[in-house]
Structure 1
Amino acid sequence: MTMRTGGDLVVESLTALGARTVFGLPGQHALGAFDALRRSSVEYVGLRVENNAGFAADGFARVTGSVAPLLVSTGPGALMTLAALQEAAAASAPVLAIGSQVPVAGLGGGRHGYLHELADQKASFRDIVKSVHPVRTASQIPSAIADAWQSALTAPHGPVWVEIPQDALLAVPDVPPVTELVAAPRPLRPRPELIAEAARRLSAAERPVILAGGGVVRSGAHAELLALAEKVAAPVATTFGGKGAFDWEHPLSVQSWLEDRHTTDFLEDADVLLVVGSGLGELSSNYHTLRPRGRVIQIEADLGKLESNHPALGIHADARLALAELLAAVDSRPDDGTAAKSAARLLARVRTRIAAQHLDTEQDILASVRAALPPDAPSFWDMTILAYWAWSAWPGPMHSAQGAGGLGYGFPAALGAAAADRTRPVLAVSGDGGAMYSIADLATARQYDLPVTWLIVDDGGYGILREYMTEAFGAATATELTRPDFVALAESFGVPAHRTSPESLQDDLAKALATPGPSVLVLPAVLRMFAPTHLPEAAPDTSADVRPDAT
């Protein structure tokens, strides 16, 4: 079949919108779209599991800031992407997932009993993605993809789902080739009266503090955040998703020790707490123990997260646009060095606490990883104890699955990032349990010669769950695992692999990262998490109270 089909309309539309790479895995009903790929200049990166293809698209989207197309088939293939799309939604990654469907005559289920048929496939995605775009005829394809693209990139960014029946993908369209599509994201500007009120409160504050989340990073508001912090002399903490939003070593930086009770106390003590690009969810609020005593100003692009956890002056806006207007409106506060001194005292208390817990091995391993990784090389972290350390202690940008918290994210997401830029190495970090989710895609790394070094910390099981269960119940259940020989397994895929130690990790990792193509490094080590300094005193439930001074 050489004639142009609805599948070509899919690829032409993506190309017109700027896509150069597509991730996915073929299936019966999607073959029309996959066949069209060979007639295009779009690069296809195929993974071995649909969920991993979704994670790869997520990684691509995070490092590029652009839409990452994901192409999968019907039924099981579509449903296998749900965990990855949940992570993309939680982390606001613009993944454009295109799934096929049974022929139009079978929509609704039960009429023909097609292979892979679901009664309402798109219903499985509605509560996860930003928007769903069903197609019924080939001529609808370009507009549906353009609408989905615009939705994915409009703040807050997020995944979207396009669904196209098999017969629409195979139909010969009576329309010319797609040459131009416009899908510019709609700007989300703040309301001026809210900016004026926020500026008034910040200008009058004596102890302002800023908490910067992932929305600052995604909107590219680094310069505006820095200028505002310096103008009002406010210390800045970053959430785990907001790492890299503010210079780690800046005198006003209090870094990212959000699970440390000293940091929680510091945020609570602010008379004005400006939260930018964060919903103050479980991790950003130290497991909902944060109870601000001053006024809160929250700038958030996701309307559903605005004031969802704390009463605030809520500003529904893109972080960069809101910070720019707030910067212009706020008064300068004299900087007598008090803010920087308070930040330094906080960090000293954190360091003292960590030192008292005798966790030198964990800190040395993380320091070795930091030293080995080139400054511009991205890193992707699975849900493993070393990643939990990195959330707090890693000094710059990092990408992890802390949005939805599913296992298996790190390696396939790193593959997606490597596909975006093959000139620099990419690091993936997993535990042995999480690594087993992604083993099949060692074949992908080898097939496309992607420059990903995969560090597997082998502690014999689900380490963080082992620690949680032992602390809560006195013993762990279902956490111990039989593992393969990861080195031999990687080598069977043609991927160079090596077993390392804490002492040789830095040199071994630096060598692996400097070697072209994929590689695996296995570190046998049982790590421990740090403990908070103290837990807050029990407080009454005030969720139903709206205090006049809270806003």
Structure 2
Amino acid sequence: MTHDHDLVLRPTPAQTEAALNPPAGRTGGDLVMETLAGLGATTVFGLSGRHASGMSDALRRADLRYVGLRVESNAGFAADAYGRITGEAAPLLLPAGPGALTALAALQEAAMASAPVLAVGSLVPTVGPGGGPHGHPHALPDQSAPFRDVVKSVHTVRTQSRIPSALAAAWQSALTAPHGPVWVGVPQDVLRAGTAIPVVTGVDATPEELPPRPELTAVAADLLTRAERPAIIAGGGVVRADAAGKLRQLAERLSAPVVTTFGGKGAFPWNHPLSLRSWPADRPTTDFLEDADVLLVIGSGLGGLTAGHRPFTPRGRVVQIEADAGKLESGHPALGIHADARLALQALLETAGTREDDTAPARVRALLDRVEERIAARDLAVEQDVPASVRRALPPRAPSFWDMTALTYWAWSAFDARHPNTMHAAQGAGGPGYAFPAALGAAVADPTQPVLAVSDGGGALYSIAELATARRYGLDVTWLIVDDGGHDSPRESTTDASGEPTGAEPTRPDLVALAESFGVPGVRTSPGALETDLREALSRPGPSVVVLPAVLREFAPARPGE
């Protein structure tokens, strides 16, 4: 009898030949590139620099596409989007010290949004002028320490022989549910030194599966089958697990209305009779969900954005399915099921019975009518027309990436994503400057679709340098900048607090001229011309900028009684 642990992976003749006769001039950096290619990577993001020269030099000899950006955080956002679109771990190459620290904001976003990013950073040499890292430029006492509270796992390498296995472990960690960023640190001298280690020709790093416990899904299926008023909240975990089809099957079997969180946009068809769409933070929808006798929450941690930063108190039984154990029952007592959304939905489909409820579509329609009537009664024509124009101009399967702007807050609720994994926002960590570099990463991942980025005037300046990157690689990204003269969200919050937009209205540059100075075509539009101008820009090869001068009010959820 043969046991799994008795199996030995035997090298092929070609692998043996490559191992015994390595090419001359290889370094530790080549081991990094060979391992990434062996794991299945085809593209890497990052910045070249003297302190990462061991990796950048090895890139010249590697069969990997390198996409170089201008700022480390932007390279991280691009890698984040590449990981979201492809479902692969996106390698991100970083220099030591300040360069690595600059990428922390991007890795925090990837961690909170469960995007698989494999960051490989150079560390200061193992031996310094004083017998340690001190005295080296960019030196930190422990380069990996700042990453430990941000990423899923940290892997520090001190010898060349450890490079392949450390990268394989990191790759597996990044792609095991819940997906997320990981950090691998390799000293500069280890990367630069010549190596006699055999050529890395194959690496096994299969992600671990996360199936649900069968006794828990049996109880969940029974609760849902016997429920009188079941409802479902579908979050980003459904999208990441590619489980939208299974969600629809379960909802239809149970006649259960479905609301998608902002991270779960596109997980359920917008115009389905059971679709509550994406108004979870609005009071009428919150009331509907709190009134469910069984509430299934799948792929969502029920964070502050989902309930509009207000108390959310379900009165019925809650069943929560979540791959991130830290989010299970973190805000509400529930039957917590630690599992990948796709595997858990499949288990429920195999166990749950059929519920007949002819009243569910009528209740859904009544709720949506109430939401629409409330908004129509306010003077919000521009706030509604702008996202509608964007939707009409954007091809159905084209992905979009959104900074935290007033327009984004409207789009989270009112924008039909059309398909899963096509609408992404910086809602995980909430940092500015995400949209445009992320859109560049998406364009690299799938060049068959145009990509839209949406920023406000202040957020755009965080990533304006990447117009050079877009131009250099000829990426089909259209950047819609709502030129509000600064940061619309800080402006509104500081004005509400003190009556003055303190620090939220910096000097306004000419964004069209700025784009054109990079060789990127720009156009200034208006709400009435937005659809036409945006459609034209999206149909044009290469990058483009569309500037909409406007100050939009943020979406305000209904108050109790409205």
TM-score band by shorter chain is: over 0.9
Distance 2:310 2:184 in 1: 36
User: 2 CA distance for matches of 1:108 and 1:125?
Assistant: 25
What is the aligned partner in structure 2 of residue 340 from structure 1? 361
**Paired AA for residue 126 in structure 2:** V
* Deviation for aligned residue 1:248: 0.7
**Contact 1:400–1:410 (Cα < 8 Å) also in 2:** yes
Partner of 2:470: 445
Cα 1:108/1:181, change in 2 over 3 Å:
farther
* Residues 2, 488 of structure 1: alpha-carbon distance in 2 compared, 3 angstrom cutoff: farther
Question: 1:110 deviation in Å?
Answer: 5.8
Letter in 2 for 1:479: A
| Uncovered stretches (5+) of structure 1, i.e. residues with no partner | 538-551
- How do 1:473-492 and structure 2 match up within 5 A? 473-492=498-517
2:494 aligns with: 469
User: Could you say what secondary structure the match of 2:429 adopts?
Assistant: coil
Q: Is the 8 A contact 2:27 2:192 kept in 1?
A: yes
Aligned position for 2:280: 258
**Mapped partners of 1:133, 1:51: distance in 2:** 20
Measured after TM superposition, the shift of residue 286 of structure 1 is 2.4
Task: Give the direction of change, closer, same or farther, for the CA distance of 1:109–1:452 in structure 2 (3 Å limit).
Answer: farther
Q: Do the aligned partners of 2:114 and 2:181 also contact (CA within 8 Å) in 1? A: yes
Q: Indicate which of 318, 322, 328 corresponds to 1:300.
A: 322
Map of 2:8 onto structure 1: none
Alpha carbons 2:297, 2:320 under 8 Å: kept? yes
1:65 aligns with 2:90: no
Classify the secondary structure of the residue corresponding to 2:209: coil
Q: Indicate conservation of the 8 Å contact 1:495/1:519, yes or no.
A: yes
Whether the 8 Å CA contact 1:108–1:120 is kept in 2: the answer is no
| Counterpart in the other structure of 1:530 | 555
Residue 239 of structure 2 contacts residue 264 of structure 2 at CA under 8 Å; is this kept in 1?
yes
CA shift for structure 1 position 107: 11
Distance 1:252 1:370 in 2: 22
What code does the residue aligned with 1:456 have?
Answer: I
**Is the Cα–Cα contact under 8 Å of residues 362 and 528 in structure 1 kept in the other structure?**
yes
* Structure 2: runs of 5+ lacking an equivalent: 1-22
- 1:545 corresponds in structure 2 to none
How do 1:134-145 and structure 2 match up within 5 A? 134-145=156-167
Residues in 2 aligned to 1:250 and 1:108: alpha-carbon distance in whole angstroms? 67
Q: Superposed, which structure 2 residues align to 1:322-401 within 5 Å? A: 322-335=344-357, 337-396=358-417, 397-401=422-426
2:434 aligned partner? 409
Deviation at 1:203, TM superposition (A): 1.3
Task: Report if the CA contact (8 A) 2:224-2:254 is conserved.
Answer: yes
**Distance between the aligned counterparts of 1:151 and 1:478, measured in 2?**
41
Cα contact 1:19–1:68 (8 A) shared by 2:
yes
Q: In the alignment, is residue 509 of structure 1 matched against residue 530 of structure 2?
A: no
Q: Deviations over 1:256-298 (max 9, x none)?
A: 0122111111110100000000011101122142110111000
Matched, 1:420 2:445: yes
Q: Give the TM-score normalised by structure 1.
A: 0.95
Q: 2:74 aligns with which of 52, 69, 74?
A: 52
Encode CA deviations 1:150-192: one digit per residue, 9 max, x unaligned: 0000000000000000111112222221111111110001111
| Structure 2 residue 454 is matched with structure 1 residue 433 | no
Cα offset, 1:68, TM superposition: 0.6
**Partner secondary structure for residue 99 of structure 1:** strand
Q: Distance in 2 between matches of 1:81 and 1:111?
A: 21
Cross-structure match for 1:456: 481
**2:207 match: secondary structure:** coil
Q: Is residue 175 of structure 1 aligned with residue 197 of structure 2?
A: yes
Q: Distance in 2 between matches of 1:508 and 1:60?
A: 27
Determine helix, strand or coil for the equivalent of 2:296: strand
Structure 1 match to 2:103:
81
Residue type of the partner of 1:373? L
Residues 326-335 or 427-436, more deviating: 326-335
Residue aligning to 2:239:
217
**8 Å contact 1:109–1:118 — kept in the other structure?**
no
**CA distance in structure 2 between the aligned counterparts of 1:134 and 1:408, rounded to whole angstroms:** 29
Match of 1:236 among 258, 261, 265: 258
Deviations 1:11-57 (A, max 9, x none): 11111111111100022221111111111221111010000000000
Q: Tell me what 1:541 maps to.
A: none
| 1:163-202 → structure 2 map (5 Å cutoff) | 163-202=185-224
Using the TM superposition, give the Cα deviation of residue 71 of structure 1 relative to its aligned residue in structure 2, in angstroms: 0.2
Contact 2:393 2:532 survives alignment (8 Å): yes
Query: Which AA in structure 2 matches 1:389?
Result: W
- The AA in structure 1 aligned to 2:191 is L
Work out whether residues 27 and 74 of structure 1, in 8 Å CA contact, stay in contact via their aligned partners in 2: no
The answer to whether the aligner puts 1:496 opposite 2:526 as a matched pair is no
Question: Does the CA-based 8 Å contact 1:30-1:99 persist in structure 2?
Answer: yes
Tell me what 2:299 maps to: 277
Cα distance between partner residues in 2 of 1:256 and 1:109: 58
Give the C-alpha shift of residue 320 in structure 1.
0.5
Give 3-state SS (helix, strand or coil) of 2:545's partner: strand
Which residue is 1:548 aligned to? none
CA contact (8 A) 2:479 2:544 kept: yes
Question: Which stretch shifts more, 56-65 or 280-289?
Answer: 280-289
Question: 1:394 is matched by which residue type in structure 2?
Answer: F
- Cα deviation, 1:280-322, whole Å, max 9, x if unaligned, reads 1101122142110111000000001000000000000001101
Distance 2:546 2:133 in 1: 52
What is the distance in 2 between the residues matched to 1:255 and 1:108?
A: 61
RMSD: 1.6
Offset of residue 134 of structure 1: 0.4
CA contact (8 A) 1:289 1:536 kept: no
Note the C-alpha offset of 1:60.
0.7
Are 1:18 and 2:18 matched, yes or no? Answer: no
Measured against aligned partners, the alpha-carbon deviations of 1:419-443 in whole angstroms (never above 9, x if no partner) come to 1122221000000000000011111
Closer/same/farther in 2, CA of residues 109 and 237 from structure 1, 3 Å limit: farther
Distance verdict in 2 for CA 1:394–1:107, change over 3 Å: farther
Structure 1 position 132 matched with structure 2 position 154: yes
Query: For 2:356 and 2:249, how far apart are their aligned partners in 1?
Result: 14
Indicate conservation of the 8 Å contact 1:109/1:117, yes or no.
no
Does the aligned pair in 1 maintain the 2:129–2:136 contact within 8 Å?
no
Aligned AA (2:139) = E
Letter in 2 for 1:145: L
2:545 counterpart residue number: 520
Given that 1:109 and 1:119 are in contact with CA atoms closer than 8 Å, whether structure 2 keeps it comes out as no
Residues 55-109 of structure 1: CA deviation (Å, up to 9, x unaligned): 0001111111111110010001110000000000010000100000111124999
- Counterpart secondary structure, 2:127: helix
Equivalent in the alignment of 2:20: none
Q: 1:105 to 1:535 in 2, by over 3 A?
A: farther
1:3 equivalenced with 2:25 (yes/no)? yes
Structure 1: distance between partners of 2:129 and 2:508: 43
1:367 is matched by which residue type in structure 2? A
Contact 2:478 2:538 in 1 (8 A): yes
What SS class does the counterpart of residue 263 from structure 1 fall into? Answer: helix
Aligned residues: 536
CA contact (8 A) 1:228 1:327 kept: yes
Alpha-carbon separation, structure 1, partners of 2:179 and 2:131:
32
Q: How many Å separate the matches in 1 of 2:424 and 2:557?
A: 24
Q: Distance in 2 between matches of 1:287 and 1:55?
A: 26
